[in-house]
Structures are given as structure tokens and as C-alpha cells.
Structure 1
């Protein structure tokens, strides 16, 4: 005959089992840790040792989360891998992305809104407002920026002084300065260019038109728009300025960066700020300056920014723990370590922008000084931006190179963008 344990005996046994389980967890904390995986990509080699150190220090600092931080070569290649990983149920919890592409992940449901976390941040106001707000789509923020870099115009001030040209503040003044600084030799060959665009290609022309339209107070493609709006007065004025500036400067920009380094270009347009420090270090005999883009009128100057961001992938089982990892990443001491390791980015924290350790040269200070409103992302913040930018940009390029009339290019580009958006929306 089986003896049945008395109630109080069963209770004691259960209590002892619970105590044993808790003691095991305390003794072997890894058994209870939540696994969080973070994919970081498109980083210089100097970031990898920092990332390993951050991972180790984070895992030692607490008993709740076990972080695996993977550093990958290219975010472009990783995007397709993320889609496959999500379908297979093996995606990371945190994914690095450029801010101007976040909208596509939000629109596809691949990223979760971060508002409930951000709203409870005691230091939310320490992050550059324009950069943080660029993550907003349909009323919610889907990515959190930790680093930022500016793209603007780099000036050779020596050429301005030697030509007797003062500071320029408007589009018209820029074109006039480019014409005045331009120098030809006796054979009619150009030796000094007053203005050069960094590139001549579809993507560059698309982004440049969006920039000029932003300076006119509008955009070709609002974040939630189903129709483009570039065949209008603002689009025409913007495209004509781009064409006029190019004609006043260097028509073929293939050698623009080389000529800039040789001291033969007065202004190079849409220059990545993170390249300036190395340029200036290699050519100390040239007095360079990095500045915001001049606008159609004085006071409408603007700067491009791009930002490194993290999003929480929607397939994660542990969004709260993923946010805790991100919180740790953006702590002032950790973010400073990352910025120093990267060597070419600036922090998204306002309180750290003027940190002397992060401004090792005059040119880094100039980059910092450009980061104030109004700022604009590197291209329209629309979920189908990556789908429309090259096809539409190819049509705009024909106008920039003189192969088609500006009006025709704007009409065709708008029509094509609308067609692509309609097709994308029909298969969602």
C-alpha cells in the first residue's frame, strides 16, 4: 500500500526544490541568461576590438542577458541575409542600419516601434532632435541613432582669397563665385575649377534634387506619400540650379576629388565629412573648410546627415532585453569608446559633441559646427526610397548632362516613381 505524502511534507519538498533551483541559477548565472544577438556592419577594422570588449564587459556586468555582438563587413549584403534569417527564425534581435533606409524595414513590419522605450529615457533630449525625428514613420520611431556624420561642401579658401571672392551665401552667389574663380590656360584648358560635384550618377542626382527641394521648403516624396511631387515649381527651380552650378564648374566630375586634393577645385559639393580629416592631413599646404550647403536665399543653408542606427527586429522574443543592450551601447562612456574606435563619426549625443577627446583637429570641430537645424537626411525618408532612387535618378541625370530637357526629366521621373510605388503597394 502506497503512502501518500502529507500536505505539509509536499510543501516543504517543493520549497526545497525551489531553493535548489535558485541556488543553481545563482551559482551558474549563465543558465538563466536571455540570449541577445546584435548585428553590427559597415565599420572600420578598428571597431572590431572595441565591439569584442563591449560584449565581454556587458556580459560580465549583469546576470540577465548574454550578448553576442557580431561585426559584419557590409550592411548592403546583410540586408538580404536578415530577410532570410527572419523567415528561418534565426534573425538577430538588434540590427544596424543607416537612418535613410529604416523606413523600408518599418513599412515591411520588420522593425518594432521604440516609442515606449524612448519616452521613458531620462536623457532623451540629449540626442540631436533632427536625427532622432528622422526615424519617425506613421507616428512612431523605429530606429535609434547612435552616431552621425555630415555631408556638405568643402572649400579651398586659398582659391577664394586669390580670386578676390568673399563668402558665398546663396545659390546665385555660388554660381557667380564658380565662374569668377575658374581659370583657363593659354590653350583654353581649365586649370582651376570654381565648383565641382563629387559624382555624376543617378543616385547622386536624385539625392541632390531632394536636397535642393528641401531648401525650397518641400520634398519630392514625403514619408507616407503614395504619389511623388517633383514636377512642380520647386522641382524645376531645384533642377535648374543643379544644372547651372554644374555648367559653371566642372562638367566631368570623374577627377573632382583628385583635383580638390591638388588645390585646383574651390568648392566640392556633397563631400562626405568623414573624409575631410584625412584629406586635410595629407595636404596641409591647402586651407580647407567644411561648410553647410548654401541655399536659394541667405538663411536657407542646410546640411546632409547620415546616422548609424539600431532597430529591434520584429521577430525577437525579447524586445525588452534587446532595448537594455541598446541602452548600454549608447551610455556616454560606451558611446565615446565606439566613436574613438570608429575615428570618423560623431556621437548623436549633444553633450558629447563638444568633447575635446572627440575633436582632435580643427576639421572635426568644423563638422560639429555644421550639425544644427535645419538638417536633412541623405535622401527622402520614404519606405520605397531604395526602389525609386536609381530608376528616377537615371532620368534626372539626362537633364543634368543635357540629354533631355529639365521639364521632360521631371515629368518622366515623377511618373516612374508613382508607377513603382503603385506596384509595390499592390503586392504588400
Structure 2
């Protein structure tokens, strides 16, 4: 129960509880054949909801009810409900942060037996790094809907206009110093040189920032769980990130997250964007941004000291132990994460919108997707495969995770630290002041592990 108390206290501390608002389809009363799905309102999930009538047609009598939430809201509501043994959700959208922890605590159903008994499902087709990140003691406890690492997206036409030449060799990794120079040169009165997340949230600003901290030689804790957020390496990395935003980044960066950066890049208001590889599902969609077709270049996550600095993340689907309709839940999950679903998305919505980075077969058995993803598909796969959450930093650490620290307390700790960073980006305090406060938060958490 110690983990549950920590989660409840942490979520309450940041004002995120079960009272969080939501939007859904269907009535509040659950029927025997209803499957209630809690999911994040990202583009790929919106597509799944649009196509859900296909599932209902193939499964007469089964009614799907979706609860769609913003990322921060979804984390809070799903976490609290699952931790408390609530039965309001049959399917929950979680990630490789929650899955192994919740499996260990007994909050999720083991999905390996379900997968093995489902003809043609082929769980071995999932990219191995993602499959391992969603497993506990060798068994799957959630399955990936889409997976991602991070990379640098840039407008090739704007680079050419600015006279910037990019090394195109396969093993080239840009440095953050190079990227900063490009951003400064590309910045204009009405266009940012680069878009970087600044919005509070451990899954918002800290996602890209933690990869910068890692490659600059920083870490959250040393091997003895001593907090390191005010170390010289972390100060250098965060100052670099904040200064780059202030000098050549987007206006209002303290409230800019993934979706806002996607909009800015898609509308030509920023020349570069460092973020999730999954962004291609929107940016490369000719129906969404026809003017961008053929104009986007892709490079590996920028580095300083540590190579292969991209993160590893997956939005996945799991079944809470207390779900009312686990069999119906698996039927839906196996449909939404199947090879056939990938093909359905391509045929119905366009091949650029196929959920990326989950199944190897997406890149090897769908010639239509392989053709349209030539500029980013191989790099996406390579970035995901090279990500190493067991060794995320230059120096050894006692935790796993690249853009997060894989402990329950990180939901609260990461949110609190992110608020300090956002305040520094907004100019409300200095980076040193923000990190001194963040260090105090981290010291409290570190002591609980030193006492074990």
C-alpha cells in the first residue's frame, strides 16, 4: 500500500484527482457487453475512435465507450482509478513508465496468455525494445499501440534558403551546439528557429529536456540516490535549453507542448522541432499539411557527450485487474494493436497515419507504408532500437528510463520539477533558482530510497 499512498499523495499535490473532467461516448451505465476505454486524445487515438465502428460491426452486441482526455488529465485519472481498484475502465492507455511498476504491484492483468491464444496476433512482431519495456518477469502486461523515440525535424527548404548544409551520412548525429547555431540563423521576426516544449508536466517539458540533461552528462540521482539536479552538468544542460528557447525558440514557450509545437511546425512558424518520432503521423499526412510534402528532413536526436540520446516511449493498452469486462477488453485491444488494424488505417485514412514504431511488420510487410516513410521510417526504427533505458546517462544511475525516472514518485516529482523549469522559461525565476528548488524536491524522494 506504500506505493498507492505515494501515488495518491502525489496526484493530490498537483491537483489531479478522480474528479478530472472527461468527454466520452455512450451512456454512463455499463452493460454486460460494453467495453469502456480510457485514452489520451492524441491524433492516433482519435483515428482509432473514428474506425471503431469497424470493430463494433465485426462484434455485434459489443458497445465501445471512449473516455478521451488530455495527457496530463489521462495520467491522473487512469492512475488513481487503477491504483484504487476501480472498475470504471476495461481498457487503459498507459506507457512503459507505468506498465512494469503496475504489473509488479498487481494492478494489471497478464496479457501474454491472451496474446498467445489469439490466432495471428504475433506479439513477437512488436519491436523488441518496446516489448521488453512493457513486460514484467518475462510477460506482457500491456501491448504497444504506437512507439516512439525522438528526433530532429527540420524544413529542408528553409535550410537551403539560409545556406545551411546538413551532413547526410547514415551515421551522422548533430550536436546540440550545431542545432543552436542553426536555430539562431533561422530565427526571424515571425518564425522561430526551433520549437521545444516548455509546458509543465513530466510528460511535456521534461521529455525533451531530460534527453538534453542525459547527453550533457547530467542525471537525476547518483548510485546512492543522492539528488543531482543542481550539479554542474544539469545546470549546464538546463541553461542551454532555456537560453536556446529564449533566444531562438517560439513565443509563449512556457505553455507550449507537443500539440502546440506540431501546429507551429505544420504552419511554417518554426524551422525546426525536436520531439517524438510519432509526429510524422500528422506532419507527413498530405490531407493535413499538403504544403509540407517532401519538405521535411529528419536527423537523430542531437547529442553532446552521450550518443544515441533519443528517448523510448510507447502508448500502450492494458487491462486493469478490476476491469468488469476483461475478455471484451482484450478483444478490442487485440484489434487496435493488430497487423490488420495497421492496414485498415492505411487504406481508410491514408498510409501516413499508420501508427508508427510498434510492429516491425509495419516497415517490412506494408509496401505502401514503406514507400511513403523512406525519409523517416528507417531512422524511427533505428532510434527506437538504439534507445537504452537501462543505461540512460553518461554516469551510472540506480533507475531506469530515459525521459523519466522509473519510480512511482516521479509522477509527482517530475511534475513539480517541470513547473520550476517552465517558470524559468517564462522568466519568472532564474534557472539556478528553479534547479535549487527542484533539488530540494528530489532530495526528499532520494531519502526514501536511501532508507530502504
Among 357, 360, 376, the alignment partner of 2:368 is 357
CA change 1:422–1:244 in 2 (3 A) is same
Indicate the residue corresponding to 1:295 in structure 2: 303
1:11-410 equivalences under 5 Å are 37=35, 39=37, 41-42=39-40, 46-48=47-49, 50-57=51-58, 69-74=64-69, 76=73, 80=77, 90-102=87-99, 105-106=102-103, 109-114=106-111, 123-136=122-135, 141-149=140-148, 151-167=150-166, 169-182=174-187, 190=189, 193=192, 195-203=193-201, 204-216=204-216, 219-220=219-220, 228-250=227-249, 252-253=251-252, 260-261=265-266, 263=268, 265-270=270-275, 272-278=279-285, 281-284=289-292, 287-297=295-305, 300-304=307-311, 306-316=313-323, 326-327=333-334, 329-337=336-344, 343=353, 345-346=355-356, 348-354=358-364, 355-358=366-369, 361=372, 365-367=375-377, 369-372=379-382, 373-375=385-387, 379-401=404-426, 404-410=429-435
Q: CA deviation at 1:45?
A: 5.1
CA change 1:205–1:332 in 2 (3 A) is closer
- Structure 1 CA distance, aligned partners of 2:315 and 2:332? 16
CA change 1:416–1:113 in 2 (3 A) is farther
Q: CA deviation at 1:413?
A: 0.7
Q: Which entry has the higher C-alpha Rg, 1 or 2? A: 1
- Structure 1 CA distance, aligned partners of 2:77 and 2:283? 32
Helix, strand or coil at the partner of 1:72: strand
Q: CA deviation at 1:241?
A: 2.8
Q: Residue by residue, what CA displacement relative to the aligned partner does 1:216-262 show, whole Å, maximum 9, x if unpaired?
A: 5775379x997654333442342233134335413635597676456
CA change 1:139–1:245 in 2 (3 A) is farther
- Structure 1 CA distance, aligned partners of 2:292 and 2:213? 35
- Structure 2 CA distance, aligned partners of 1:85 and 1:402? 38
Judge conservation of contact 2:108–2:141 (CA < 8 Å) in 1: yes
Q: CA deviation at 1:130?
A: 2.2
Judge conservation of contact 2:87–2:323 (CA < 8 Å) in 1: no
- Which has the larger helix fraction? 1
Q: CA deviation at 1:89?
A: 6.5
Considering only aligned residues, what root-mean-square deviation do their CA atoms show, in Å? Answer: 4.5
TM-score normalised according to structure 1 size: 0.68
Q: Which structure 1 segments of 5+ residues have no match?
A: 1-33, 60-65, 184-189
Judge conservation of contact 1:218–1:234 (CA < 8 Å) in 2: yes
CA change 1:81–1:220 in 2 (3 A) is closer
Q: Residue by residue, what CA displacement relative to the aligned partner does 1:73-131 show, whole Å, maximum 9, x if unpaired?
A: 33745963785588686444433334444466446542245466679999444211222
- Structure 2 CA distance, aligned partners of 1:393 and 1:352? 35
- Structure 1 CA distance, aligned partners of 2:76 and 2:198? 26
Q: Residue by residue, what CA displacement relative to the aligned partner does 1:179-229 show, whole Å, maximum 9, x if unpaired?
A: 34445xxxxxx3554x3224433334322321213435775379x997654
Judge conservation of contact 1:148–1:306 (CA < 8 Å) in 2: yes
Of 236-245 and 75-84, the range deviating more from structure 2: 75-84
Judge conservation of contact 1:154–1:268 (CA < 8 Å) in 2: yes
Q: CA deviation at 1:278?
A: 4.5
Judge conservation of contact 1:197–1:256 (CA < 8 Å) in 2: yes
Q: CA deviation at 1:287?
A: 2.2
Judge conservation of contact 1:339–1:345 (CA < 8 Å) in 2: no
Q: Which structure 2 segments of 5+ residues have no match?
A: 1-31, 168-173, 254-259, 390-401
Helix, strand or coil at the partner of 2:153: strand
Helix, strand or coil at the partner of 2:66: strand
Helix, strand or coil at the partner of 1:177: helix
CA change 1:219–1:340 in 2 (3 A) is farther
CA change 1:58–1:425 in 2 (3 A) is farther
- Structure 2 CA distance, aligned partners of 1:242 and 1:304? 16
Judge conservation of contact 2:37–2:92 (CA < 8 Å) in 1: yes
Of 322-331 and 386-395, the range deviating more from structure 2: 322-331
Judge conservation of contact 2:146–2:357 (CA < 8 Å) in 1: yes
